[in-house]
Structure 1
Amino acid sequence: MARLFRSYGAADLHLFAVGLVTSVLGRFANLLPPLVLGVAIDAVFTQRAPYRLPLVPPEWIPTGTDAQLWLSAGLIVVAFLVSVTFGWAQGVSLSLFSNRVQHRVRTDAYRATQRLDMAFFDEERTGELLSVLEGDVRNLRAFLNGTVSGAIQLVVTVVGIAALLFYLNAQLALVTLVAVPLLGAFTLWFMRTVRPRYRALRASVGGLNSRLETNIQGIEVIKSTGTETYEDDRVTDASWAYYLRTWDVARLEYLYQPGMDLLAGVAFATTFVLGGYWLVVGPPPGFSGTLLPGEFVTFLFMTQRFVDPLAGLGRIVDSYENARASGERIFGLMDRPSAVADSDGEVPLDPDSVRGRVEYDAVDFRYGDDPDGDLVLHDLSFVAEPGETVAFVGPTGAGKSTAAKLLLRLYDPVDGTVRLDGRDVRDYRARDLRRAVGYVSQDVFLFDGTVAENVRYGRFDATDDEVREACVAAEADRFVRELPDGYDTRVGERGVKLSGGQRQRIAIARALLQDPAVLVLDEATSAVDTATEVAIQRALDRLTEGRTTVTIAHRLSTVRDADGILVLEGGRVVERGTHDDLVDEGGLYATLWAVQIGETDRLPPALLERIERAAVEGGSDD
């Protein structure tokens, strides 16, 4: 909470100060009417005491009862007007303050999230992140907007009322205020007990959000497989877990709040009984002096105003603990280190000056932080000279896509070095490196915008003509012009309004528009039909001339002309060479090639049996 104010509230502390000051003054103004009423009863109506107000010189007060009556009425009206005015000022200033802090925290948390490495996103659920960036940030705003001022008002009310009660009658004030330490002890117990429950509640919110978001994104799979009932049960389980966490907090609140009300009510009832006895019979045993009717009325009003804030202490504590749990999650996200971070001695990289020499030198890689975990890549080494095309092929899970992503520093190797133009890619600033390397993934993502906006993404200054040229090169221009609004057609969330092949060609156009020195194609033609594949391959052949290209393919026909082919199996390079050389060797590549061109009759019976067994077990690519 201290960090929240220090890091994100400092720029608008003047607004916070205005909110607190007006809150305090408004609370003081609220205490004036019952005080004036009690004084008026004793001085104007019963005339049993002189008209006296705290901190007001006697000579300022008129002597006539009529004048004193009008003075009382005027003070009460002014107090209500001041209270309303200060209440408005408090609401506006604290609302501005809390919303500005909310904006800064959310955008800063998002920036921090964007800069985390891909390993974080591999492990973290999207719904959990959205819960932090939206729900937890909103909890902080609610805390700043109402809870802080409420806590200040409570302190001011308790101190102010205690001072007035002691001013009126110190003996009766002691009876009324004896509940304060009891309420404080009860609140301390509640805070310590509810804190871990709130942490668990915030975590369950993320779990529920993740389940809902996953199911909405996968609705096509759910419907096509008829698994609505299964998913109903899974959402029910997640919602029930959230319900249990909510009830765990709620039942503690339902114990705390009535307990606070009971203690505060006992204090009020005790004050009423003792004060009433004092007026009717005389001083109770152990008490002395007189109690005027007006003082007693003021005591009852003040005690009630004293009881209500104390009874509301539970809501303040509740909001604070909720905000504290949210703050831990938000700042925990912000403080999480990235495994892929720019080095202290980063080297400027001008994308236009990149030659495109790519070198992998004894690269090892594993996912996760476990140093004893299984390696995904083992001792991967190769060199692609400027303008050459190197292809990774092999069974699914062999590490092909992972190897390509190391070039963009989406991950860093655990051992060995990846170099671009002779320098370790970790020496470059990650943003500059990724501008120099174009990337087309097999899992194409399009934003909910127009075709032109998606092609232009990453090169926002590109002209309409440049966008069209890129689409022509990617064999996308024809189908784009046939869309309802051409290049201004909205593609829908994740590009759902386009076919897989269309999305793939838009992604290729986006990469080509950047005109990178190095091009990474990860199954870039995996979602297109044979005719479209031929067209795209023809365009890629022209465009990769003079450009270093690292390509990954299951369709070996797309890499026949590669300068070098690396066959990966189990994360290791088991074969390397040109297409013709690898076919002649009769190894794994030759096997894959024979399967794809339908010449399995040439394969040995043992190898055919292996292929059939792998297909039955789900490893058809192997």
Structure 2
Amino acid sequence: MSTDADPDSTLLNEHREDVSRPIVRLFTEYGRDDLHWFVVGVLASTMARFLGLVPPIILGAAIDAIFNDSAAYTLPVIPNAWIPATETGQFWLSAALMGGTMALAAVMHFFRQSTLNLFSHRVKHEVRTSSYQAMQRLDMDFFNEMQTGQLMSILNNDTNRLELFLDNMTDSVIQLVVLVIGIGGVLLWINWQLALVTLFVIPLAALFTYWFMSIVEEMYADIRETVGDLNTRLENNLGGIEVIKSATTEEFEDERVRDASYEYFRRDWLALRMNFIYRPGLQILTSIAFVATFIVGGLWVISGPPGPFTGNLSIGNLVTFLLLTQQLVDPLAQMSEAVDRYEDAKASSSRIFALMSIPVSIRSAEGATDLGDVRGRVEYDDVDFSYGDEEPVLHDIDFEVEPGQTIGLVGPTGAGKTTILKLLLRLYDVDSGAVRVDGHDVREVTVESLRESIGYVSQDPFLFDGTVRENIVYGAFDATDEEVERATKRAEAHEFIERMPEGYDTRVGERGVMLSGGQRQRICIARTILNDPSILIFDEATSAVDTETEMLIQRSLDDLTEDRTTFIIAHRLSTVRKADEVLVVEDGRIVERGDHEALLEEDGLYANLWSVQAGEMDALDPEFIEQASERAAMGVRGED
């Protein structure tokens, strides 16, 4: 199988090793507020299990006293004065007690299921929302390394497995503990010698379970990772279905999904094979206990105590032993499922808590202040930057922007233009130097106030699945209809929205798939206008649209940027012709600066780029062509 997701697994595994007692944390950190429901569920479950032990005891007493007439009719806890003197009365008392305890047990089971399920669902809800909140605040480096499928697996699959564990495992453990203690106590009270024959299986089952758990723990951790890998592959393919169809690579993708699915199957099958040994093994042990009880007890009733055994054993006592032993067989045999769910939940909760424990470096510093009213003066002071431990991608970035100015950033793909402005948004922090807004280092103001003052329109406009209106008011949720319409008119979007089937209430589909690229871009611009930021960033805002749409978008940009500090990243140099200053970036450095006319006169990189877009290939510098060829051969990082 492909190991595409190995970096994701490594990142989680590094932090998973530091997660201790994950199951305990579920109860202490996320179940604390609802612990009363858990306690009620435990008490109800305990009561239901104990009530289930009553009918066999009553039946054994009835057989000996009423049907076999070999002993007096007595019941534990029931005073002799309450017991009828006649056999008929004793018969009806037995029937009433068995029926009553069964009905009460059913009521207790209702309370058990209701309260334990409520507890488990609330814990699942809290864990899912907490893990999402933690994930959403992680640094961009994390999202660059992690794949969406892995994150969806944690937020969805892993949290659902916690619910299964809390729903079923708790009751299974209670059932096992109560029945072992309760049945063991009753059997020892009736006949301690025969009880030893029945209960010898308990320590053997415990040892067998310990061996099983020591083997499968890592198997379940591997399974959870392969689920994330498979989700990643499926999510990527569904998102890229248009590319797959246009390239007729269905068979290639079939094979990649088959490989990912087979790896999940293989690891799941390894764990299942261990279960195929463990579950029958437990059943064999419990069956041996039942058969041994029947043989020894039967011989005892027929011909007296066998071998070293002493004393008497009635038919009623033997029936009680067999019925209670059978009750013990089922929970012991089901212990494998409880262990399964425990190990599965332990692996899932470890991944969840590992995600939550990943440190966040981009956060508001202690004592950070709000920016307040932003004028829009921006300064880059000798900035250097690298992604993690990689080679630096920005060197000595130094420039100043006065309020209301428009700055263009141009250069080859991968030169670092987008990265420069992501430092302004503080999606990353500089390695050295400083980025300032109105004289404030962006690391010394609150992240929220910084980003609220900046509007960002990317080259890949993102729309949420919902209506046009919902996407426009995103971030300005209390905007009026008049304000929305005013913003769309400024973004040259109102007319095409009005022509849509349901106007502003038309659904746009996932990622805005129902709209064209230009329509999505103009809705994003309208959203930015509505939020009214003091600083604007347009990252290739017209790169994916036709010439007419570019003209419309450019008109809206000219209107929007009139009195705001604006940064425009552009490959189409016509977008930055009117900029107050153009910064030409190459290999992470500013190599030229000036307005459009001045840069053309320099006859440098900018002039060559302009010649390419104007179709004047004969005017290109041969050195520029050679450098462009080298860049294309080397490839570039995803960040521009």
What TM-score comes out, normalization by structure 1 length? 0.96
Alignment match of 1:493 (pick from 507, 510, 513): 510
Counterpart check, 1:411 vs 2:428 = yes
Task: Please give the residue correspondences for 1:285-364 in structure 2 after superposition, counting only pairs within 5 Å.
Answer: 285-350=307-372, 353-364=373-384
Given that residues 358 and 420 in structure 1 are in contact (C-alpha distance below 8 angstroms), is that contact kept between their aligned partners in structure 2? yes
In structure 2, relative to structure 1, the CA distance for the partners of 1:616 and 1:126 (3 Å cut) is: closer
Counterpart check, 1:375 vs 2:392 = yes
Residues 427-436 or 490-499, more deviating: 427-436
Task: Please give the residue correspondences for 1:250-261 in structure 2 after superposition, counting only pairs within 5 Å.
Answer: 250-261=272-283
Given that residues 605 and 624 in structure 2 are in contact (C-alpha distance below 8 angstroms), is that contact kept between their aligned partners in structure 1? no
Task: Please give the residue correspondences for 1:34-45 in structure 2 after superposition, counting only pairs within 5 Å.
Answer: 34-45=56-67
Question: What's the CA shift for 1:512?
Answer: 1.3
- Could you tell me which residue of structure 2 aligns to residue 596 of structure 1? 613
Amino acid at match of 1:55: V
In structure 2, relative to structure 1, the CA distance for the partners of 1:618 and 1:60 (3 Å cut) is: closer
Task: Please give the residue correspondences for 1:498-577 in structure 2 after superposition, counting only pairs within 5 Å.
Answer: 498-577=515-594
Counterpart secondary structure, 1:380:
strand
Amino acid at match of 2:413: T
Distance 1:64 1:610 in 2: 109
- Could you tell me which residue of structure 2 aligns to residue 582 of structure 1? 599
Write the deviation string for residues 160-210 of structure 1: whole angstroms up to 9, x where unpaired: 000000010000001111111000000011111110000000000000011
- Could you tell me which residue of structure 2 aligns to residue 29 of structure 1? 51
Question: What's the CA shift for 1:46?
Answer: 1.2
Question: What's the CA shift for 1:502?
Answer: 1.1
Question: What's the CA shift for 1:116?
Answer: 1.1
Question: What's the CA shift for 1:58?
Answer: 2.6
- Could you tell me which residue of structure 2 aligns to residue 146 of structure 1? 168
Alignment match of 1:366 (pick from 357, 362, 386): 386
Distance 1:291 1:615 in 2: 91
- Could you tell me which residue of structure 2 aligns to residue 471 of structure 1? 488
Percent same amino acid at aligned positions?
54
- Could you tell me which residue of structure 2 aligns to residue 269 of structure 1? 291
Counterpart check, 1:483 vs 2:503 = no
Amino acid at match of 2:381: D
Question: What's the CA shift for 1:576?
Answer: 1.6
Counterpart check, 1:282 vs 2:304 = yes
Distance 1:257 1:349 in 2: 64
Question: What's the CA shift for 1:13?
Answer: 1.3
Distance 1:231 1:507 in 2: 33
Distance 1:544 1:231 in 2: 45
Counterpart secondary structure, 1:169:
helix
In structure 2, relative to structure 1, the CA distance for the partners of 1:521 and 1:156 (3 Å cut) is: same
Residues 315-324 or 339-348, more deviating: 339-348
Counterpart check, 1:183 vs 2:210 = no
Alignment match of 1:10 (pick from 22, 32, 39): 32
Distance 2:245 2:622 in 1: 41
Task: Please give the residue correspondences for 1:203-218 in structure 2 after superposition, counting only pairs within 5 Å.
Answer: 203-218=225-240
Distance 1:497 1:105 in 2: 34
Distance 2:127 2:631 in 1: 51
Counterpart check, 1:129 vs 2:151 = yes
Given that residues 278 and 284 in structure 1 are in contact (C-alpha distance below 8 angstroms), is that contact kept between their aligned partners in structure 2? yes
Distance 2:355 2:550 in 1: 42
Counterpart secondary structure, 2:584:
strand
In structure 2, relative to structure 1, the CA distance for the partners of 1:384 and 1:35 (3 Å cut) is: same
- Could you tell me which residue of structure 2 aligns to residue 171 of structure 1? 193
Question: What's the CA shift for 1:60?
Answer: 2.9
Given that residues 600 and 608 in structure 1 are in contact (C-alpha distance below 8 angstroms), is that contact kept between their aligned partners in structure 2? no
Given that residues 290 and 326 in structure 2 are in contact (C-alpha distance below 8 angstroms), is that contact kept between their aligned partners in structure 1? yes
In structure 2, relative to structure 1, the CA distance for the partners of 1:293 and 1:128 (3 Å cut) is: same
Distance 2:506 2:477 in 1: 18
Question: What's the CA shift for 1:434?
Answer: 1.3
Distance 1:604 1:387 in 2: 35
Distance 1:197 1:153 in 2: 27
Distance 1:404 1:356 in 2: 14
Distance 1:395 1:76 in 2: 85
Counterpart check, 1:248 vs 2:265 = no
- Could you tell me which residue of structure 1 aligns to residue 15 of structure 2? none
Distance 2:267 2:448 in 1: 42
Distance 2:542 2:281 in 1: 68
Given that residues 147 and 319 in structure 1 are in contact (C-alpha distance below 8 angstroms), is that contact kept between their aligned partners in structure 2? yes
Question: What's the CA shift for 1:65?
Answer: 1.6
Counterpart secondary structure, 2:591:
strand
Write the deviation string for residues 242-285 of structure 1: whole angstroms up to 9, x where unpaired: 00011011000111000000011111111111111111121111
Amino acid at match of 2:191: N
Distance 1:191 1:416 in 2: 53
Counterpart secondary structure, 2:93:
helix
Given that residues 453 and 534 in structure 2 are in contact (C-alpha distance below 8 angstroms), is that contact kept between their aligned partners in structure 1? yes
Counterpart check, 1:89 vs 2:111 = yes
Given that residues 504 and 527 in structure 1 are in contact (C-alpha distance below 8 angstroms), is that contact kept between their aligned partners in structure 2? no
Residues 254-263 or 331-340, more deviating: 331-340
- Could you tell me which residue of structure 2 aligns to residue 456 of structure 1? 473
Distance 2:194 2:626 in 1: 97
Question: What's the CA shift for 1:617?
Answer: 8.1
Counterpart secondary structure, 1:11:
helix
Distance 1:607 1:148 in 2: 70
Counterpart secondary structure, 2:567:
strand
In structure 2, relative to structure 1, the CA distance for the partners of 1:443 and 1:174 (3 Å cut) is: same
Counterpart secondary structure, 2:392:
coil
In structure 2, relative to structure 1, the CA distance for the partners of 1:429 and 1:154 (3 Å cut) is: same
Counterpart secondary structure, 1:359:
strand
Counterpart secondary structure, 2:52:
helix
Amino acid at match of 2:412: P
- Could you tell me which residue of structure 2 aligns to residue 108 of structure 1? 130
Question: What's the CA shift for 1:611?
Answer: 5.0
Distance 1:25 1:535 in 2: 73
Counterpart secondary structure, 1:287:
coil
Residues 20-29 or 467-476, more deviating: 467-476
Given that residues 39 and 294 in structure 1 are in contact (C-alpha distance below 8 angstroms), is that contact kept between their aligned partners in structure 2? yes
Given that residues 161 and 306 in structure 1 are in contact (C-alpha distance below 8 angstroms), is that contact kept between their aligned partners in structure 2? yes
Distance 2:350 2:400 in 1: 46
Distance 1:617 1:247 in 2: 43
Given that residues 564 and 577 in structure 1 are in contact (C-alpha distance below 8 angstroms), is that contact kept between their aligned partners in structure 2? yes
What TM-score comes out, normalization by structure 2 length? 0.94
Distance 1:278 1:498 in 2: 84
Question: What's the CA shift for 1:152?
Answer: 1.1
Q: CA RMSD in A?
A: 1.6
The alignment covers a number of residue pairs equal to 615
Query: Which consecutive residues of structure 2, in runs of 5 or more, have no partner in the other structure?
Result: 1-22
Please identify runs of 4+ aligned residues in structure 1 that moved more than 3 A: 604-619
Distance 1:617 1:22 in 2: 68
Query: Which consecutive residues of structure 1, in runs of 5 or more, have no partner in the other structure?
Result: none
Question: What's the CA shift for 1:568?
Answer: 1.0
Counterpart check, 1:162 vs 2:178 = no
